[in-house]
Amino acid sequence: MAERRSVEASLARLDQAIGRLEVSVARRLDVDRSLGALEMELQRLGEDRSKLALDLDQSAARSARLEEANREVSRRLVAAMESIRAVLERHGG
At 27-62, the pLDDT tens digits run 999 999 999 999 999 999 999 999 999 999 999 999
pLDDT surpasses 90 at 4: no
Check pLDDT > 90 for residue 93. no
Q: In b/e form, how buried is each residue of 50-69, taking b as 16+ CB within 10 angstroms? A: eeeeeeeeeeeeeeeeeeee
Question: At 21, which amino acid appears?
Answer: L
Cβ neighbours of residue 93 under 8 Å, at least 6 residues apart? 87
pLDDT, mean of residues 51-75 = 98
